[in-house]
Amino acid sequence: MADRILLAHGSGGKLAHDLVQKMFVDVLGNPILAKLDDAAVFTASGRLAFTTDSYVVTPIFFPGGDIGKLAVCGTVNDLAMSGARPLYLSLSFIIEEGFPQKDLEKIVNSVKEATDEAGATIVTGDTKVVDQGSADGLYINTSGVGLIPEGVDVSGGNARPGDKVLLSGPIGDHGIAVMSKREGFSFSTKLESDCAPLNDMVADMLAASSNIHCLRDPTRGGLATTLNELAKQSEIKIIIEEERLPVRDEVLAACEMLGFDPLYVANEGKLVAVVAAPDAERVLNAIRKTRYGKEAVILGEVVEGDSGRVVMKTHLGATRIVDMLVGDLLPRIC
Amino acid sequence: MKFLSEFRDAGLAKGVVSQIHRRSKTPARFMEFCGGHTATILRYGIRQVLPATIEMLSGPGCPVCVTANADLDKAIALAQMPGVIVTTFGDMLKVPGSHSSLQKIKAEGADVRMVYSTMDAIHIAEENPSKRVVFLGIGFETTAPTVAASILYAEEKYLKNYYVLSTHKLCPPVIKALLASGEVNLDGLICPGHVSAVIGSRAWDFIARDYAIPCVVSGFEPLDVLQCVDMLVTQVEEGNSKVEIAYRRGVRPEGNPEALRLMHEVFEPCPAQWRGMGTIPDSGLKLRSTYQRFDAECAFDIDPGPTREPQGCICGDILRGVKTPLDCRLFGNNCTPEDPVGPCMVSSEGSCATYYLYGRNSGR
Amino acid sequence: MCLAIPALIESIKNEEADVDMGGITRRISLRLTPQAKVGDYVIVHTGYAINILDQHEARETLKLFEQLAKAAEEER
C-alpha cells in the first residue's frame, strides 16, 4: 500500500476497498462490520438512545490520546449520560489527501482500544478523501446507539431543589493538555488528557441509586457551561463551592499563565451528576470506586429561586455568578 | 502554586477582613486603576466582604479598553496587506475597530496569529523570511519593556522582517490627567502591581504629594487586594497620604532599573489617544529614530480609512470612573460579550465584561 | 492587569531560563532580570521575567496574615 492516503482511497474503487478491508475491517473485526453491507443490521429492544458527534481536534495526537480515542469516548459518553449502555457505533472519516497511513493506523488502533474498553462495536462506517488543504489532516464523525435499562430516567430537565451536584474528578485536564501542543501557547507539561469512556462508571452509579436525576459530561465550554445548561433545562438554581472544586496543579498553573478560568476548560472524561440528597453519599462512593472517579466530590447543590442561574461561593465566602462560556477561550496578557 | 495559592487562603483572609471592619469608620472611595484588580475584586466577591463605608470605583487601567479605534484600524489595515503576518496577544482579537476586528478579518483570510510572547512573534519572523511580521504592541509599562527586548533580539539576529506597531501607553500620565480633571473624587488609589514592579512605587509619589491621596501598590490575589484596602483604610483614618507597597514580594521603590533602561532605550514618550479621554501628552510610547527600521508606522504606508465611533457607547465615561457599566443603556442588551459594541465589554478585564461575568445580581 | 505569575528558575542558558510554574514548564527570557539565578522565583509576564520575587517578603506577608487570622479567632 502507498504510505499516504490518496484521493482514490475515498472514491469507492479497488484502492478504497483495500483500505477499508485492511485498515478498518481487519482491525475492528466483528461480524456485522465484516459483512460490509450498505447498512448494519442488528436487533435491539427497549428504550434506545442515539447520538452523533464530529471530531475536529487539533493536534490530532495529544498527550493522553488522539482523535480516534476521543471520537469513541465522546459518543460513548453522550450515550452514557442518558443512562444508556453503548451498543453500536458508526465511524466516518474525512481524510485530507496526503495524510500518512501510519497515522491512520494508529488512530484506528486507538478506536479499537477505546471500543473494547467501552464494550461497544463499530458496525458501519464511511471514508471520504478531500483535497490537500482541507480537513486539517483528518475529521471523524461517530454516531452511537445505546440501550437504556428499564426504569432509568435521566435527563437535564430532572433536577430538583435539594438535590446534590456531584463531579467525578479534577477539571481542565483535556483542554490544557491539548493546548500545550498548539502553536502560540508553548509550554511543557506531564499533564495528559482525561479522555476516557464513562459508561462503566454510570452503570455502577445507576446500580447504587435509582434517584440520579441528571448526568452530563462537561466537554467544550467546561464545567461552567454544563452547569448553566442543566440550570436552564431544569429551571432551577445551582450553587457550587470553590473550596471543593478539584483542579490539578498543572491545570491551575497553565490557566494562571494564560489567563483562563478552569471552569471553562474542556474535559473528556468527567461527568456531573445531580442526585437526590439522601443518595448522594452512596453515589459518590460508587464513583470513587471506579477507575476514572477516584477524586470525585460533592460540589454543590440545587436550590430554590433565580431559575437558570449558577453561582459559586468563592474562597472568601462571597458569592459570584458563574456564566456560560462566551465565544472561545482566548489567552490574554492583561 | 507556590507564592500564589497561599494568597488565596480563605482562613487567612478572615483576619484582614476583620481588621478592615474594625478600622474603617470614615466613608472612603477607593479606585482600582488596573483591570486585573477589578477582575480579582469581582471574581472573589471582595465588595461583599468589605464594610459599607468603603466604595470601590474602577479606573482606566485596561490597555485593551483604552486603545482608540484609530489605532486598531491601523492593525486591521496592516493585516489586510499582502505578505504581512500580524501577530498579537489574544486580548486584541475580538476588539471591534471602526468597521471590523482582527478576528473577523482572520476569518476572511488575513494572516493574523495569536501569540503568548513576543518571542513567539520573533520565531514566526525567522521561519517566514519572505513575509513581513508585525507585532501589535499593546500594554503599559509591564509589557513595553518585553516588546523593547524583542526589538533588541531582532536587531541582534539581523532580522529584516520584524516590526512593531506600538500603541503602548504609560500609567502615571493618565492617572494625573484623571485627577487633574477633577471629575473623580478619590480617597485612595490601589496602584497597579506589575506596572509598579517595573516603574517602582516612587512613580506614584506625585499623587500623594500633589493631590494628598493615599496610594498603596497591590498584588493580584484576593489577600493582596484585602491587605491593600486595609492599608488604605489605615491611612484614611490616620489622615495620611503617602505611597506604600502592599505587594512587597513583587515591587520595590526603585522598580526594575534594567527593564526601565531597555524600555527607554527603544521607546520614547509621545502623545497618545486614550479612548474616552482624548489625547494626553507624553502618555504613549513610540520607537526612537535609532530603531525606526522596526517601526511599522514608518515601514508601511498604512491607510486605515476614516474612524467611526459606535453610537451610544459610553466606554469613555466608564473608563474615567464617572459612570458604571450599569449606567450604560447598551449594557446587557445590544452590548454583550458575544456581540460587543465597545472594548470595555470585549476585554476580559474591561469593567463591562467583568460586571457581566461576575457582577450581575451579586450584592452591591 | 498584566497577567504575571511566579515561576521557579530551574536552569539558565545564555539569557534564557527554563522555569517551573507549578507543574508546567516553559522557556522564558531573563533579558529584563539578568541578575536572576537558578533557584530564584521570578514574576513572568508574556514569556519574560519582569522582576525577581522577594521570597523573604512573601513569607513575612503571609506571617502577617497568619497573625491577623489568629487574632480574629481569639476575639470570637
Least Cα separation, residue C24 to chain A (angstroms): 5
* pLDDT tens per residue, range A11-24: 888 888 888 889 89
C25 near A CB under 8 A: yes
Written as nine digits, the cell of A8 is 482514490
| Residue of A178, A179, A186, A187 to mutate, testing the C interface (most C Cβ within 10 Å of its Cβ) | A187
Residue B350: per-residue pLDDT: 76
Report the chain B residue with the minimal C-alpha distance to residue A180: B116
Written as nine digits, the cell of B109 is 483570510
| pLDDT confidence bin for B311, thresholds 50/70/90 | confident
Q: Where are the domains of chain A?
A: 14-148, 164-321
> Inter-chain contact A187–C45, Cβ cutoff 8 Å?
no
Written as nine digits, the cell of B57 is 470605583
Q: Which residues of C touch B258 (CB under 8 A)?
A: 32-34
**Beta carbons of B275 and B65 less than 8 angstroms apart:** yes
Which among A186, A311, A332 is the nearest to B120, CB-wise?
Answer: A186
Residue B359: per-residue pLDDT: 66
Task: Check pLDDT > 60 for residue B361.
Answer: no
Task: Check pLDDT > 70 for residue B270.
Answer: yes
Tell me if ipTM is over 0.90: yes
> Inter-chain contact A188–C45, Cβ cutoff 8 Å?
no
> Inter-chain contact C22–A252, Cβ cutoff 8 Å?
yes
Query: Which residue do the cell numbers 483572609 mark?
Result: B13
Write down the CATH number for the domain with range A14-148: 3.30.1330.10
| Residue of B8, B12, B190, B229 to mutate, testing the C interface (most C Cβ within 10 Å of its Cβ) | B12
Query: Any residues with CB less than 8 A from the CB of B306 and at least 6 apart, and which?
Result: B98
- pTM for this entry: 0.92
For residue C20, the cross-strand partners are C8, C25
Written as nine digits, the cell of B194 is 506589575
**Beta carbons of A56 and A141 less than 8 angstroms apart:** no
Give the separation between CA A16 and CA A22, rounded to whole angstroms. 10
> Inter-chain contact A334–C3, Cβ cutoff 8 Å?
yes
Mean pLDDT of chain B: 92
Report the chain B residue with the minimal C-alpha distance to residue C34: B258
Helix A199-208 / helix A280-288 crossing angle, nearest 10 deg: 140
Which among B89, B356, B359 is the nearest to A332, CB-wise?
Answer: B89
**Helices and strands, number each (H, E), in chain A:** 10, 14
Written as nine digits, the cell of A12 is 469507492
Q: What residue ranges define each of the domains in chain B, with the CATH number in brackets? A: 1-301 (3.40.50.11740), 315-357 (no CATH)
Q: Which residues of C touch B233 (CB under 8 A)?
A: none
Residue C58: per-residue pLDDT: 95
Least confident of A81-95, B127-141, B238-252, B300-314: B300-314
DSSP 8-state secondary structure symbol assigned to residue A20:
I
Q: What residue ranges define each of the domains in chain C, with the CATH number in brackets? A: 5-75 (2.30.30.140)
Please list the helix, strand and coil fractions of chain B in percent, rounded to the nearest 5, in that order. Answer: 45, 20, 35
> What amino acid is encoded at B105 in this protein?
I
Give the separation between CA C21 and CA C26, rounded to whole angstroms. 8
Least Cα separation, residue C1 to chain B (angstroms): 4
For residues B192-218, give the mean pLDDT.
Answer: 97
Residue B197: per-residue pLDDT: 98
Written as nine digits, the cell of B218 is 497591590
Residue B364: per-residue pLDDT: 34
Which among C21, C29, C71 is the nearest to B1, CB-wise?
Answer: C21
* CATH of A164-321 among 1.10.3210.10, 3.90.650.10, 3.40.50.261, 3.40.50.720: 3.90.650.10
User: Which tops the pLDDT comparison, B311 or B259?
Assistant: B259
> Inter-chain contact B248–C61, Cβ cutoff 8 Å?
yes
Residue B360: per-residue pLDDT: 61
